[in-house]
């Protein structure tokens, strides 16, 4: 038993420093996507969906007065969060997917 403990300790001390010297695997390059910092508005009444296609279930409706923030794009779809409660009853913070072609950037207004 003692011999096994010593052998294990020797192996650990020999292999541990070597592992620290090996270069780490290169991390995949991050794809940075620029989204409108002021958010987006639907052009007309659209569905907020559970996934990035019309085949995914609808979570509810969004209208032109609703404000959303995009943070991911996939295949012509934006993953968004609602900024405020939607007129249809969806609650602020709700996440889902909307077709990119159905939204337009909100205009930022800065008052001096």
pLDDT tens-digit profile of 7-35?
Answer: 444 444 444 444 444 445 444 444 446 88
pLDDT, tens digit (0-9, with 9 covering 90-100), for 56-90? 999 999 999 999 999 999 999 999 999 999 999 99
Q: How far is CA 43 from the centre of its chain?
A: 23
Q: Is the predicted pLDDT of residue 107 greater than 60, yes or no?
A: yes
Which stretches of the chain are DSSP H helices?
2-21
pLDDT, position 31 = 47
Q: Which of 64, 68, 78 is nearest to 34 (CA)?
A: 78
Q: Is the predicted pLDDT of residue 3 greater than 60, yes or no?
A: no
């Amino acid at each position: 038993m003692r011999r096994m403990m010593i052998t294990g300790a020797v192996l650990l001390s020999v292999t541990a420093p070597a592992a620290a010297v090996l270069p780490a695997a290169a991390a995949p390059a991050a794809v940075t996507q620029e989204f409108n910092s002021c958010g987006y508005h639907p052009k007309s009444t659209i569905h907020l969906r559970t996934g990035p296609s019309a085949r995914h279930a609808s979570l509810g409706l969004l209208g032109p007065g609703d404000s959303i923030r995009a943070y991911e794009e996939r295949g012509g779809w934006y993953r968004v969060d609602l900024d405020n409660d939607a007129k249809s009853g969806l609650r602020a913070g709700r996440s889902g997917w909307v077709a990119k072609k159905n939204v337009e950037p909100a205009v930022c207004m800065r008052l001096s």
